[in-house]
Amino acid sequence: MSKVLITGGAGFIGSNLAHALADNNEITIVDDLSMGKKKNLDGIKVTFYQHDVCDREFMHQLLSENKFDYIYYLAAVASVADSVERPLATHKINQESVLDTLDYIRTQKLPLKKFLFTSSAAVYGNSPEFPKLESSQVDPLTPYAIDKYAAERFTIDYGKLYGLPTVAVRFFNVYGPRQNPESPYSGVLSIITECMKNNKTFTLFGDGSQTRDFVYVGDVVAALIKLATATDKPMVYNIANGDESSLIDVIHAYEKISGINLNIKYESGRNGDIDKSKADISKLKSIGFTPKWTLENGLREYWKYYE
């Protein structure tokens, strides 16, 4: 049994990771429940702390008392819009807390097997290369993207400079069960699911031709576990499906699966939205990981979860 800490473990991706690991690991979760939900952890055995990761004393004590084997760092303010409204507050969570944890591990020489930090495709911003490779130019355009990029670099540099076992990932558009649809900046598929379930009108920003690289959370969790256990170099990896789908095609596919016609209201494109997004996932594949959920199967599984 390994000892695993998941910060942000009551959130969308963190709770899916906790469910995948709970049978064979001793899991500790720190989550302030600002976005996550305690009920996301129903049915699994975890030690849960409702706490802010910015509380250094608390985090230091937790780290020194537990000697975790693996730390998955998912705690963050996930809303780009929120980071634009409150750059100082979100900076503390999205960057400072990560650096502080890394530095505590370094100075206390904690015997860790892997520290995995979760960054975002937001770091690519409007950089022109397509599809996005990890070596592509970055262009972080918001406080969220800047902090994710900086924390990701600190993670990699703590590996290179001090020999900490680290790895970082850049998520593309993750979807699946337990994604919280409550904010207008929640993942589009969680909003669409909510609209379909409750017969609400979905507002489509733009004409639906914008593309995204949607990846099912089951693949994301499997990739995280593989990266934490099977890599030994401090590097950054894209986590995506490696495919590009237009939003309108995704809606049509989802309508077929659910048997529900989505009411759509069209509005002009959202400020700052990018047109096209697609990842190159050769690097992820090079460690022996290939996503197994097609968009159609992922959508079917997502819909089934709520039936």
Q: Which of residues 94-153 bind ligand UD2 (CB under 6 A)?
A: 120-122
Q: Which residues pair with 170 in a beta bridge?
A: 119, 238
CA–CA separation, 215 vs 245, rounded Å? 11
Give yes or no for residue 91 binding ligand UD2 (CB under 6 A).
Answer: no
Give the shortest CB-54-to-ligand UD2 separation in angstroms.
20
Give yes or no for residue 266 binding ligand UD2 (CB under 6 A).
Answer: no
Of 44, 81, 84, 274, the residue at the interface with ligand UD2 (CB under 6 A) is 274
Which amino acid appears at position 15 of this protein?
S
Q: Report which DSSP code applies to 63.
A: H
Cα–Cα distances (Å) from 150 to 3, 58, 160, 218, in that order, read: 27, 23, 15, 27
Give yes or no for residue 35 binding ligand UD2 (CB under 6 A).
Answer: no
Residue with tokens 């904690």: 110
Give yes or no for residue 299 binding ligand UD2 (CB under 6 A).
Answer: no
Q: Which pair of tokens denotes residue 172?
A: 């593309």
Which CB sits closer to ligand UD2, 167 or 247? 247
CA–CA separation, 27 vs 196, rounded Å? 34
Give yes or no for residue 6 binding ligand UD2 (CB under 6 A).
Answer: no
Q: Report which DSSP code applies to 93.
A: I
Which CB sits closer to ligand UD2, 11 or 187? 187
Give yes or no for residue 205 binding ligand UD2 (CB under 6 A).
Answer: yes
**Binding piece for ligand UD2, criterion CB under 6 A, among 23-31, 39-47, 128-136, 204-212:** 204-212
Residue with tokens 């959920």: 293
Give yes or no for residue 305 binding ligand UD2 (CB under 6 A).
Answer: no
Q: Phi, psi (5° rounding) for residue 189?
A: -70, -25
Of 173, 193, 241, 258, the residue at the interface with ligand UD2 (CB under 6 A) is 173
Give yes or no for residue 41 binding ligand UD2 (CB under 6 A).
Answer: no
Give yes or no for residue 11 binding ligand UD2 (CB under 6 A).
Answer: no
Candidates 144, 216, 237, 302; catalytic one: 144
Short-list 267, 265, 263, CA closest to 198: 263
Q: Phi, psi (5° rounding) for residue 227?
A: -65, -35
Give the shortest CB-200-to-ligand UD2 separation in angstroms.
11
Give the shortest CB-79-to-ligand UD2 separation in angstroms.
7
Q: Report which DSSP code applies to 279.
A: B
Q: Which pair of tokens denotes residue 199?
A: 């017969």
Q: Which pair of tokens denotes residue 238?
A: 């894209």
CA angle 286–21–297, rounded 5-degree value: 65
Which CB sits closer to ligand UD2, 63 or 75? 75
Q: Phi, psi (5° rounding) for residue 256?
A: -65, -45
Q: How big is the site for ligand UD2, counted in residues (CB under 6 A)?
A: 19
Of 14, 131, 177, 187, the residue at the interface with ligand UD2 (CB under 6 A) is 187
Give the N- to C-terminal CA distance of the chain in Å, as an integer: 34
Of 191, 220, 250, 281, the residue at the interface with ligand UD2 (CB under 6 A) is 191
Catalytic residue status for 144? yes
Give yes or no for residue 17 binding ligand UD2 (CB under 6 A).
Answer: no
Coil, helix or strand at residue 134 = coil
Residues near ligand UD2 (CB under 6 A) are: 80, 120-122, 173, 185, 187-188, 191, 203-206, 210, 212, 247, 270, 273-274
Q: Which residues are catalytic?
A: 144
